[in-house]
A and B are shown apart, each in its own frame.
Chain A
């Protein structure tokens, strides 16, 4: 255990930085945070592993829904996008039901003044028709984007960010997300 904690600390030290323009504009995010998947890839779970590193106060449910949670009890909703056939199969839902679920959450969050973050944590491997469709459906609700840089090589996320005038923070490696979280949540 001790050895792994050291490894994770080292990961933190060796991690390169990230490029964020959000906080320069005074944009901040607050806890508590609701985290859910948008597409049922394991990216959302990876998000929570990183969130633990910066001691973020979060609640994680893969299938968080407006029927089961009052989103107004949170200050931030993080939707980790990644369409996975395996994950959708494991959850026994299809892509249409998944989009309906996360859109309802995002709408409820917007109505309650809860900030919505769209996150791509798995990079290029989660860019495809289904994942891109989820992002497109959620884009009207986004207050910020946290994106692994190889997912934005074609400027897909940059376009949404610039069009809506909301910040986009990119990072090279998954673990570098912790620097983004530290910056945006003031950790």
Chain B
């Protein structure tokens, strides 16, 4: 009886400890040589809903190390999808790629706060049915464990934002705080990964609203998002970004705007990771109709103007073009096989690249 009771209590504690942790569906291909955890770089994340899998794709041939991040904002699904496609298809033949498909897995574990999109979106992959995760932009308040402050203040500067909920936005916390709140610790852990693994360059994949103009509730014409189709680069990485977007436009007809990190806007990955670690940092933005606050209804997968294939295909092409541009400017790069081009994704559909 006592043994039974102990077993029951153990089971309850175990389920309480592990049962709430969110683990999205990722089905690695042969290119993945190892799988670790972000907590390997910062142990306080272990056994929390902030810990997230890290996929290593090592060619065994000397070359640069590239970090690919999706899911910083978990509703920005072109990034998570592109990261998963990379893990499930690509083989690295020179250098090394590290992929974190769900950088803020706590945000992925809850639905988008707007309530306009299902949390799990059913799709048909090449092996059958599976789900894409459409999460929230910020850490689950339950995982954060403390109320949002009135205003957000960046830990290393005097930079503030009026919306205190931004304290749960991973991409406001870099370079992170070791003894800070869970989202600050998450940023710190990613920064530690970059340092420990000597990451030479990195891309943080995001989405914005679409560039479509619209009529607001007062009948005024409003411009769409100016962030859509943007590659934001640390000032030291700007020339690489310029070459990359010229290639994308020349070959695939998609014009991507180049932007430089604003040094006055603190806490963003493309600025802080470079400054803190030396890794050349980029951030991409594709247009997600689900992020247009003015739309009552939208389809984040099959939108006629901004389908997921277009958005995730563009993310994959940005990766490919960055590899090429990095080689031009630095002298060597990461080499890969089976990374689909934008054109291939548009022809075959993004789901044909998911296991």
Contacts and interface: CB of A to CB of B under 8 A. Distances in A.
A101 B261 CA distance: 22
A84 interface: yes
B165 to A, nearest CB: 23
Nearest to A89: B262
Contacts of A1: 327-328, 331-332
Interface string B246-257: 110111000101
Interface in B273-301: none
B261 to A, nearest CB: 7
B260 interface: yes
B343 interface: no
B264 A173 contact: no
A11 B250 contact: yes
A85 B227 CA distance: 12
Contacts of B233: 42
Given A1-B328, A3-B324, A86-B261, A45 B239 contact: yes
Nearest to B257: A125
B132 interface: no
A175 B250 contact: yes
A40 B235 CA distance: 12
Contact of B264 (A14, A92, A150): A92
A3 B326 CA distance: 11
A5 B328 contact: yes
Interface in B173-230: 226, 229
Chain B: interface size category: 20 to 34
Given A3-B327, A46-B242, A90 B255 contact: no
B250 A87 contact: no
A123 interface: yes
Contact of B327 (A4, A11, A42): A4
A89 B262 CA distance: 5
A65 to B, nearest CB: 19
A87 B238 CA distance: 11
A173 B260 contact: no
Interface string A83-97: 011110110100000
Nearest to B325: A4
Contacts of A4: 243, 324-325, 327-328
B143 interface: no
B18 interface: no
B250 A89 contact: no
Contacts of B332: 1
Given A11-B250, A175-B246, A42 B324 contact: no
A7 interface: yes
30 contacts: A1-B328, A1-B332, A3-B327, A4-B325, A11-B251, A14-B250, A15-B250, A40-B260, A42-B233, A42-B238, A42-B258, A42-B259, A42-B260, A43-B258, A46-B258, A49-B242, A49-B243, A84-B259, A86-B259, A86-B265, A89-B262, A90-B235, A90-B261, A92-B263, A123-B255, A125-B255, A173-B246, A173-B255, A174-B246, A175-B250
The 10 nearest A-B residue pairs measured at CB: A89-B262, A4-B328, A86-B262, A42-B258, A89-B264, A11-B250, A125-B257, A46-B242, A175-B250, A49-B242
